[in-house]
Amino acid sequence: MTASPRSQTIATQEVTLLGRFTQQRAMVREAFIAADEAEGFVSAQSLHARLLTTDSPVGLSTVYRTLSALAEAGRADVVRYGHGERLFRFRPGSDHRHYLICTECGVSVALDSVAVEKGAAGVARTSEFTAVRHTVELTGTCPDCGHSAGSSPRG
C-alpha cells in the first residue's frame, strides 16, 4: 500500500493534472485504484479510513479535495448512494461511465453504456435541451446475491 518510486512516476502524469504533485495525492490515487480493483466504488470516508491504516495518513479534507478534483478532471466516476453519500470509482480511460450496483453486496459492474448513451442522446434531441449531462444510477441484485440471498454487505 506504500507508494513505490515507480508508481510515483506514473502518478505524476495524472496527479499533476490536478495541480502540484504531492505525496498525499499520490497516496489517495494509489488507494483509490486499489479500492477500484478490490471492491469498485468507494466513499471518501472509507478511502480515508483505509489510508489511516497505512504509514502515511492523509487528512479527510485532502481525500475529498483529491477525489473531487479527479472527478472534475474526468478520471473518476461519481455515483450517489443512500442519502447524499457520494461514491467514487477510478476511470482508467475515457470510456465506462455507467455502472450497475448491487444493493446487497455493493459490487459494481461497469457498463458499455451504449444503450444508455443512445437513450440520453435521443432524449436530448427530442427535448431540445442542450449540454445534456446524464447520471444513470442503476441498482439491482447481482447474480451471486440473487441466487443465495445471504451475502456479506458492502464494506
Identify which range of 12-20, 37-45, 55-63, 98-106 contacts a second copy by CB under 8 A: 98-106
C-alpha to C-alpha distance for 30 and 37, rounded to whole angstroms = 11
Among 3, 8, 14, 21, binds DNA (CB under 7 A): 21
C-alpha to C-alpha distance for 142 and 29, rounded to whole angstroms = 28
Q: Does 134 bind a second copy (CB under 8 A)?
A: yes
Q: Which is nearer to DNA, 56 or 141 (CB)?
A: 56
C-alpha to C-alpha distance for 90 and 64, rounded to whole angstroms = 14
Among 3, 49, 60, 136, binds a second copy (CB under 8 A): 136
Picked from DNA, a second copy, none, the partner binding residue 108 (CB below 5 to 8 A depending on kind) is none
Q: Does 153 bind a second copy (CB under 8 A)?
A: no
C-alpha to C-alpha distance for 66 and 71, rounded to whole angstroms = 9
* Phi-psi category of residue 84: left, alpha or beta, with phi > 0 → left and psi -120 to 50 → alpha: left
User: How many residues contact DNA, by CB under 7 A?
Assistant: 26
Neighbours of 57 (CB within 10 A): 13
Q: Does 97 bind DNA (CB under 7 A)?
A: no
User: Which amino acid is residue 10, in one-letter code?
Assistant: I
Beta bridge partners of 89: 77
**25, 56, 91 from 17: Cα distances, Å:** 11, 22, 15
Among 6, 20, 133, 147, binds DNA (CB under 7 A): 20
Interface residues with a second copy (CB under 8 A) are: 80, 83-85, 100, 102-103, 109, 111, 115-116, 118-120, 122-124, 127-143, 146
Residues of this chain that bind DNA (CB under 7 A) = 16, 18-25, 43-45, 57-62, 64-66, 68, 83-86
